[in-house]
Amino acid sequence: YNWFAELSVRHGGAMVAVGHHNDDNVETLFLNLLRGTGLTGLTGMKSRHGMIVRPLLDVTRKDVLDYLADKGLTYVTDSSNLLNDVKRNRLRNVILPAVRAYFPDAQTTLTRSIHNLTGNLALYTELIAHCSEGYRNKHGDIDISRLCREMTNAGMMLYEMLRGYGFNAVQCGDMISCIEESESRRFYSRGYVGVLYKGMLTVRARNQDVALSEESYIISPDDMATCPEGFSIERIPVDYVSYDRTGNTLFLDTDKVGSRKIVVRRWRLADRIAPYGMNGTKLVSDLFSDAHYSPSDKENAWIVTVGGQIVWAVGLRTSRHMTIGKSTVEAIKITFTPADARGEG
């Protein structure tokens, strides 16, 4: 019956049909039980998974062999399947024949259980997806603190929300144990990083996490196209300067800027700003703490520098350097429009 294994078919794109049958599925159920599994493992193999389709999962090995005999077709048995040196072979050749000898209906009842559990898993997955939305903010961050307050089985819920990112149950338990800590904590899976801060968890792809920290643009008041999305820059007469309380507009003295490069970039850990109206400097990270920024807010924060000197922690504080004065004739106006105001939140 191995001629099924490499059958290629067309069904909405290239697909590969493989010859796994009902006996294989029962073996998979037992293997997963022995390894320790949840609902997903109890449902056995999927009839369709990506490009792979398994059209024979409801057909027993005996049915396949009877069909081949009826049609006079030959088949090849992999000799390695007869060796009991691996778990699946021991199940196939020793354990399951004994189970069927004592319980003649085992194949039928186990298959029925797999079907029932598949339905249970579908309902469980739907309910998890529906329930989890109530614990995410507009950025997709997870409020673990509230999850723990409102759910008796918060650990399992968090695991179900995160296992698709590669985080395991032990890590989820560690996250829950850290929700009262004032410092941020990082947790890593193979492809993602989870940043936990004051009970809120932000999950990012590892490569995106690096890309954000390195994002940088040289902008010019003579070319709007140099600005990253959300930013605008222009020259205006000083009489047109009008301050607001949003923290989303910066005015610089054109003459003080001179030929220095104006750069919009992501913030860095050692960044310091000389806040307007204050003496000395302050860590930008302290501004974030004062403003109760979440990890997501921090990692998306922008900085504006002129000649390498920070003049604006966007949305928070401006620097006392290169500001508008009595002798200012022309100003450079830089405006930032947050994502939610652009309809992206």
Q: Could you read off the pLDDT tens digit of each residue along the chain, which spans 345 residues?
A: 444 444 444 445 567 888 899 999 999 999 999 888 888 889 999 888 888 889 899 899 889 889 889 989 888 877 777 777 788 889 999 999 999 999 999 999 999 999 999 999 999 999 999 999 999 988 889 999 999 999 999 999 999 999 999 999 899 999 999 898 877 788 888 889 888 888 999 898 876 655 556 778 999 998 888 888 899 999 999 999 888 777 889 999 999 999 999 999 988 878 899 999 888 999 998 999 899 888 778 878 999 999 999 999 999 999 999 999 899 999 999 999 887 766 655
Count of domains observed in the chain: 3
Tell me which of 209, 231, 249 is where a domain ends: 209
Do 273 and 329 belong together in one domain? yes
CA-wise closest residue to 321 among 335, 330, 310: 310
Its domain, for residue 161, covers 136-209
DSSP 43: T
User: Residue 3: its pLDDT value, please?
Assistant: 42
User: Residue 209: its pLDDT value, please?
Assistant: 57
Domain of 108, CATH number, reads 3.40.50.620
CA-wise closest residue to 198 among 142, 133, 269: 142
Q: What is the pTM of this model?
A: 0.56
Is 265 within a domain? yes
Tell me which of 71, 106, 127 is where a domain ends: 127
Tell me which of 84, 107, 127 is where a domain ends: 127
DSSP 270: T
Is 345 within a domain? no
User: Residue 106: its pLDDT value, please?
Assistant: 93
Do 87 and 15 belong together in one domain? yes
User: Residue 143: its pLDDT value, please?
Assistant: 95
User: Residue 342: its pLDDT value, please?
Assistant: 63
Do 8 and 43 belong together in one domain? yes
CA distances to 213, 262, 283 from 258, rounded to whole Å, are 27, 10, 26
128, 160 contact by CB (below 8 A): yes
DSSP, collapsed to helix, strand or coil, labels residue 335 as strand
CA distance 124 to 155: 16
Do 239 and 314 belong together in one domain? yes
User: Residue 343: its pLDDT value, please?
Assistant: 62
Crossing angle (nearest 10°) for helices 106-132 and 22-35: 60
User: Residue 294: its pLDDT value, please?
Assistant: 81
User: Residue 103: its pLDDT value, please?
Assistant: 95
